[in-house]
Chain A
Amino acid sequence: MSVHILGIRHHGPGSARNVRAYLEALQPDIVLVEGPPEADPLLQWVGHDQLQPPVAILAYEPETPAHSAFYPFATYSPEWQAISYARSRNIPVKFMDLPLTHVFALENEKQPEPEVPPATDAHHFDPTALLATADGYEDAEAWWDHMFEYRRHNEDIFDAVMESMELLREELSSRNDSMNQLREAWMRKLIRQAEKEMYTEIAVVCGAWHAPALKHMPPAKADNELMKGLPKTKVACSWTPWTFERLSTQSGYRAGITSPGWYMHKWEHPEDNGTRWLTNVARLFREKQMDISTAHVMEAVRLSNALAAMRALPMPALEELNEATVSVLCNGDTLPMQLIRQQLIVSNNIGAVPDDVPKAPLQADIEKHQKRLRLPLTADYKDYQLDLRETNDLQRSILLHRLQLLDINWGEQRHAEGKGTFKEQWRLQWEPALAVDVIDKSCWGNTITDAANAYVTHMATRNRQLKDCCRLLENCIPADLPEATATLIHSVNNMAATNHDVVQLIDVLPPLVSITRYGNVRKTDAGLVLDILESIITRICINLPAASTHLSEDAATALLDQYYAMNDAVQTLSNPRLITQWQQALHKVMNDVQSASCLAGYATRLLNDSRELSAETLLQTFSVAMSVSNDPTAAAMWLEGFLKGSGTLLLVDDSLFALLRNWMQQLEEEHFMQALPLLRRAFSAFSTPERRQIGEKIKQGSTSTTVTNHDTYLHTERAVKGIPVVMQMLGYHLTQKKPENA
């Protein structure tokens, strides 16, 4: 009877191969693997056709699914190889780490708000770094790769690992915290148990760091003492598809590796001297329209091998291949390497899980929908353009919207190009972490419809902000959830009635307006929403003039944007009754001297835009607002409001342009000097090309006016002589005043 301890790193083609070879030679009758014992029943799936790595065991607390842990496996994970060896030989295989039921419970005790714990044992400080430095490597990862992963002949490799780890554990005894001790005690317990069960050849696959602790068995009593009275909690497990991207350290996975795609290549082609790899690189470059010849590849292979020889390596590793790629294929330019990194070194692989693996009902329902609507999970993003007039696309859109309502952000809605409201653009990208979100929402219902309805209703009753409710309503309509929609409309109506804040009311307008537009395509009843909308607009029109008075500059500027949104909403609805109401409100704001100047200015503009003001009224209002007696700041604000965003409008609308020009021309020099800064300020909001074009227009305009001036040239001295006569005819007395216009 003997126990064989195989110390490994969690993911590595060399370790995986060694483990496999060792097990083939040893022919053990039981295999113990580092991992949560709760997941033991899941091991029967290994070997199933549809279980394709990378996959992960997802373990979570059913009560609080956000408290979860992942155990990812790639084909080249030694654990995976050990498990699949055992499965293929039909010998028992078991996980032997400290059960998660205790781990989670301990974590819950430690902090009241559970965080997502590290996926597997975390190397806060990589202990192998010490050995790597001693061996003259800068990077512990590279050292391990060269020592263990790239090696092709591995006699006694596990003895070597054991010895080096023994040394390290002596050096770094402080690293063995209580959690580590507990875990190792549990591992020893399972080994003892296996011995008791009369297994003769026991193979143990565990992280290299733990290997020595399992070799030297302390008395069972001490271990049992340590494990006494551990707290417990419920744990559920499932398989979930994983991606290479999430296996890499970039994603924040702490036992991650830097180059999953490269390891896969090393696993599949251990004898490759770079030829195959560099050919793949060249093909990828060619796909991206970079000219790479076969001769380039040959030269790159040669250079990488020469580099390896210089560095005394038996075979070029990723560093050498990358350097050769930069030097030969990219002419020294490192930018294309980003492509290589993304596509080959990390590589976007996604695993698959059999349909009949036990899952949460909600998860199963979502998968059913995904399958029916042909929306496969992909690690890379994929764009969909949905035509909502098609049944299938409409169903897809509904599913995606529902998922979004449940905060499962698989798809991201993007701006659809082209006209019409019947198109939607989505970008879908599956993140393994989404599996947790799905489980997290399982408590809301067993089908996606139930869950979404229940979740939205819950949110509607909990939310006291009108704005949030409307946003929810906006999202709810395209998700086709009549129940939830009804609840939401009801609560929006109630809130709107009691709300006194005009700003908030205007805030909710755009989402509601867009709902009424959606109604056409989605066959939802927009009538209900229209009713609320009308009542809200009426409320706003009544309250707005009062709300626009006595405002600070900042508040007024903020409200200015609301005016814009409001105007937009009213124009979109194009209901004559509402438009009249809105215009009445604008008149009030315009004429009220108490109104904030920029709002009054903007109101004037809006009325002018809809041709509600006669030319005289406009000129009069304009002159009054810009009179010299006014506070210059107020006048400036008025002008700013009046010209808001209208750089192009000034160019196109000749009457507006003429108004401004005439007003300027009649200014006397002194007044002009005062008005100049105000104008400058108002114009500064326009874009540079707009300003330039306005300048050009003015230039053209002024030349044309000089021409007309020339035609009707006034002989001032003579004209002045005629003035008294004219004045007398008009009944004026000369003492009053000279005519203003010169």
Chain B
Amino acid sequence: MSDILRQHAEVLYATELEALRTQDHDKRPFNWSMSPQSVVTYLTGGTLKNGLEITPKYIGSRRLMEIAVATLATDRALLLYGLPGTAKSWVSEHLAAAISGDSTLIVQGTAGTSEESIRYGWNYARLLSEGPSERAIVETPVMRAMRDGKIARIEELTRIGADVQDTLITILSEKSLPIPELNTEVQATRGFNMIATANNRDKGVNDLSSALKRRFNTVILPVPTSIDEEIDIVTRRVESFEKVMELPAEKPALQEIRRIVTIFRELRSGITNDGKTKLKSPTGTLSTAEAISVVNNGLALAAYFGDGRLNAADLAAGIIGAVIKDPVQDKLVWQEYLETVVKPREEWKDIYRACRDLGA
């Protein structure tokens, strides 16, 4: 086990990627490390001819992944769109890892992201001493991806200011990055493409201009459709967390995960699972990713402060933290849910008590 806190996808799943690459007999697009079919298999899981089990990275519709991969195989960029925590970045990382073998060419979009961090910057010491030259240029991940014919990733595209976003238009349509200072340009090598992610919950974001939107194919990643699918996602991700964190706690009982997922789904959809009672929804999104972190959090609590077994008390703090994002409104929503839904459920007594004890 290496001492890296979180390995990149291409390192973590190196064996799977290697196996897929060697087994692959379909046609590969230029500069792709494997065929589109294999990329889809890598994402959605399957069994190879030599019996190696490929773990599913994305649990959900295979067709969606096919659209995403097919998009990247044409010269259109891919925009993954959805609520926070619907595995957008996760899918983006794995797509880049599978296609280019490199998921590190990433630009994090923020309100402060400037053109220099997307196109190129200058090494000012060198610029001053030598004047403008190729050597004085600081390459961005996007520029490197273009040179090497790899997949560049932009996280939270809509957080970037509209004027900065539009620098992408030339890159995506002309596939070139002009450097007017040197009267030259970087032309993208075949295999270059871009995956951007954006979430549709945030307010005050910069909507894409229609010119830029036209360069992207949009794939909306939905929240998991069924409770079993969601439980499956949480279970798998929690297991991999345990592996990384070397937690001594016992494997989380499916029962506990099911309860967390149920709470999250009910609050998210505003109706109980049996469809009988309407609920208020809290302001947060309560995504699957949050459910995963609640379980992880609970596992850590159980391991270091508890008896090593995940129980309701370990989870309560995490749940409350995830649900109550607005201290006034959400608190009322949660209390209502606790009293009207959790309390009457016979087998949920422990979780009710644990939440009550925490005073929320």
Q: Of the candidates B36, B74, B210, B218, which one forms a contact with A332 in the assembled complex, judged by CB atoms under 8 Å apart?
A: B218
Q: How far is the CB of B90 from chain A (nearest CB, A)?
A: 18
Q: How far is the CB of A316 from chain B (nearest CB, A)?
A: 10
Let me know if A310 and B70 touch, CB within 8 A.
yes
Let me know if A303 and B74 touch, CB within 8 A.
yes
Let me know if B70 and A306 touch, CB within 8 A.
yes
Stretch at the interface among A111-119, A186-194, A288-296, A656-664: A288-296
B217, CB-defined interface residue at 8 Å: yes
B213, CB-defined interface residue at 8 Å: yes
Let me know if A296 and B70 touch, CB within 8 A.
no
Let me know if B218 and A302 touch, CB within 8 A.
no
Q: Which residues of B contact A328 (CB under 8 A)?
A: 76, 217-218
Q: Which residues of A contact B74 (CB under 8 A)?
A: 299, 302-303, 306
Q: Which residues of B contact A471 (CB under 8 A)?
A: none
- Separation of A627 and B66 alpha carbons in the complex (Å): 78
Interface size, B (range): 20 to 34
- Separation of A333 and B36 alpha carbons in the complex (Å): 25
- Separation of A319 and B76 alpha carbons in the complex (Å): 20
- Separation of A244 and B43 alpha carbons in the complex (Å): 40
Let me know if A332 and B37 touch, CB within 8 A.
no
A234, CB-defined interface residue at 8 Å: no
Q: Which residues of B contact A327 (CB under 8 A)?
A: 67, 71, 217-219
Q: Of the candidates B37, B76, B79, B214, which one forms a contact with A310 in the assembled complex, judged by CB atoms under 8 Å apart?
A: B37
Q: Which residues of B contact A306 (CB under 8 A)?
A: 36, 70-71, 73-74
Known A-B contacts A310-B36, A332-B81, A332-B218; the reply to A303 vs B67 at CB < 8 A is yes
Interface string of A305-324 (1 = CB under 8 A from B): 01101110000000100011
Known A-B contacts A327-B219, A328-B217; the reply to A299 vs B76 at CB < 8 A is yes
A88, CB-defined interface residue at 8 Å: no
A178, CB-defined interface residue at 8 Å: no
Interface positions, chain B 29-81, Cβ under 8 Å from A, are 36-37, 40, 63, 66-67, 69-71, 73-74, 76, 79, 81
Let me know if A296 and B214 touch, CB within 8 A.
yes
Let me know if A310 and B213 touch, CB within 8 A.
no
A331, CB-defined interface residue at 8 Å: yes
Closest to B220 in A: A332
- Separation of A333 and B214 alpha carbons in the complex (Å): 14
Q: Of the candidates A291, A319, A333, which one forms a contact with B210 in the assembled complex, judged by CB atoms under 8 Å apart?
A: A291
Q: How far is the CB of B63 from chain A (nearest CB, A)?
A: 7
- Separation of A488 and B274 alpha carbons in the complex (Å): 53
- Separation of A299 and B70 alpha carbons in the complex (Å): 12
Interface positions, chain B 203-248, Cβ under 8 Å from A, are 210, 213-214, 217-220
Closest to A328 in B: B217
Closest to B73 in A: A306
Interface string of B289-311 (1 = CB under 8 A from A): 00000000000000000000000
- Separation of A568 and B67 alpha carbons in the complex (Å): 63
Q: Which residues of B contact A307 (CB under 8 A)?
A: 66-67, 70
Q: Which residues of A contact B40 (CB under 8 A)?
A: 310
Q: How far is the CB of B43 from chain A (nearest CB, A)?
A: 12
Let me know if B63 and A323 touch, CB within 8 A.
yes
Q: Which residues of B contact A296 (CB under 8 A)?
A: 214
- Separation of A308 and B74 alpha carbons in the complex (Å): 12
Q: Which residues of A contact B73 (CB under 8 A)?
A: 306, 310
- Separation of A323 and B36 alpha carbons in the complex (Å): 17
Q: Which residues of A contact B219 (CB under 8 A)?
A: 327, 332
- Separation of A299 and B172 alpha carbons in the complex (Å): 13
Known A-B contacts A302-B74, A310-B66, A311-B66; the reply to A295 vs B217 at CB < 8 A is no
Q: Which residues of A contact B81 (CB under 8 A)?
A: 332
- Separation of A299 and B79 alpha carbons in the complex (Å): 14
Q: Which residues of B contact A324 (CB under 8 A)?
A: 67
Q: Which residues of A contact B36 (CB under 8 A)?
A: 306, 309-310
Closest to A307 in B: B70
Q: Which residues of B contact A291 (CB under 8 A)?
A: 210
Q: Of the candidates B63, B67, B69, B218, which one forms a contact with A331 in the assembled complex, judged by CB atoms under 8 Å apart?
A: B218
- Separation of A103 and B220 alpha carbons in the complex (Å): 52
Q: Which residues of B contact A319 (CB under 8 A)?
A: 63
Let me know if B67 and A323 touch, CB within 8 A.
yes
Q: How far is the CB of B65 from chain A (nearest CB, A)?
A: 10
Q: Which residues of B contact A311 (CB under 8 A)?
A: 66
Q: Which residues of B contact A323 (CB under 8 A)?
A: 63, 67
Q: Of the candidates A302, A310, A330, A332, which one forms a contact with B69 in the assembled complex, judged by CB atoms under 8 Å apart?
A: A310
Let me know if B66 and A303 touch, CB within 8 A.
no
Q: How far is the CB of A635 from chain B (nearest CB, A)?
A: 37
Let me know if A299 and B217 touch, CB within 8 A.
yes
Let me know if A331 and B76 touch, CB within 8 A.
no
- Separation of A293 and B220 alpha carbons in the complex (Å): 22
Q: Which residues of A contact B220 (CB under 8 A)?
A: 332-333
- Separation of A331 and B73 alpha carbons in the complex (Å): 18
Q: How far is the CB of A527 from chain B (nearest CB, A)?
A: 57
- Separation of A532 and B136 alpha carbons in the complex (Å): 103
Closest to A323 in B: B67
Q: How far is the CB of B223 from chain A (nearest CB, A)?
A: 14
Q: Which residues of B contact A299 (CB under 8 A)?
A: 74, 76, 214, 217
- Separation of A654 and B156 alpha carbons in the complex (Å): 62
Q: Which residues of B contact A330 (CB under 8 A)?
A: 218
Q: Which residues of A contact B70 (CB under 8 A)?
A: 303, 306-307, 309-310
Closest to A330 in B: B218
Q: Which residues of B contact A303 (CB under 8 A)?
A: 67, 70-71, 74, 76, 217
Interface positions, chain A 262-298, Cβ under 8 Å from B, are 291, 293, 295-296
- Separation of A332 and B213 alpha carbons in the complex (Å): 11
- Separation of A118 and B221 alpha carbons in the complex (Å): 41
- Separation of A306 and B69 alpha carbons in the complex (Å): 9
Q: Which residues of B contact A331 (CB under 8 A)?
A: 213, 218
Q: Which residues of A contact B66 (CB under 8 A)?
A: 307, 310-311
Q: Which residues of A contact B217 (CB under 8 A)?
A: 299, 303, 327-328
Q: How far is the CB of B243 from chain A (nearest CB, A)?
A: 32
- Separation of A293 and B219 alpha carbons in the complex (Å): 20
- Separation of A157 and B85 alpha carbons in the complex (Å): 49
Q: How far is the CB of B172 from chain A (nearest CB, A)?
A: 12
- Separation of A332 and B69 alpha carbons in the complex (Å): 15
Q: How far is the CB of B23 from chain A (nearest CB, A)?
A: 17
Q: Which residues of A contact B63 (CB under 8 A)?
A: 319, 323
- Separation of A324 and B64 alpha carbons in the complex (Å): 11
- Separation of A302 and B40 alpha carbons in the complex (Å): 19
Q: How far is the CB of A82 from chain B (nearest CB, A)?
A: 36
B40, B70, B81 interface centre (most CB from chain A within 10 Å): B70
Q: How far is the CB of B218 from chain A (nearest CB, A)?
A: 3
- Separation of A267 and B135 alpha carbons in the complex (Å): 61
Interface string of A684-696 (1 = CB under 8 A from B): 0000000000000
Q: How far is the CB of A705 from chain B (nearest CB, A)?
A: 41
Q: How far is the CB of A277 from chain B (nearest CB, A)?
A: 17
- Separation of A299 and B214 alpha carbons in the complex (Å): 9
Q: Which residues of B contact A333 (CB under 8 A)?
A: 220
Q: How far is the CB of A669 from chain B (nearest CB, A)?
A: 36
- Separation of A645 and B27 alpha carbons in the complex (Å): 75
- Separation of A295 and B210 alpha carbons in the complex (Å): 13
- Separation of A303 and B81 alpha carbons in the complex (Å): 18
Let me know if A302 and B210 touch, CB within 8 A.
no
Closest to A299 in B: B76
B66, B69, B79 interface centre (most CB from chain A within 10 Å): B66
Question: Which 7 residue pairs of A and B lie closest in terms of their CB atoms, listed nearest first?
Answer: A332-B218, A306-B70, A332-B220, A307-B70, A327-B217, A331-B218, A302-B74
Q: List 26 A-B contacts (CB under 8 A).
A: A296-B214, A299-B74, A299-B76, A299-B214, A299-B217, A302-B76, A303-B67, A303-B217, A306-B71, A306-B73, A306-B74, A307-B66, A307-B70, A309-B36, A309-B70, A310-B37, A310-B40, A310-B66, A310-B69, A310-B70, A323-B67, A327-B219, A328-B76, A328-B217, A328-B218, A332-B79
16 further interface pairs, Cβ-Cβ under 8 Å (given A309-B70, A310-B73, A333-B220)? A291-B210, A296-B214, A299-B76, A302-B74, A306-B36, A306-B70, A306-B71, A307-B67, A309-B36, A310-B37, A310-B66, A327-B218, A328-B76, A331-B218, A332-B79, A332-B219
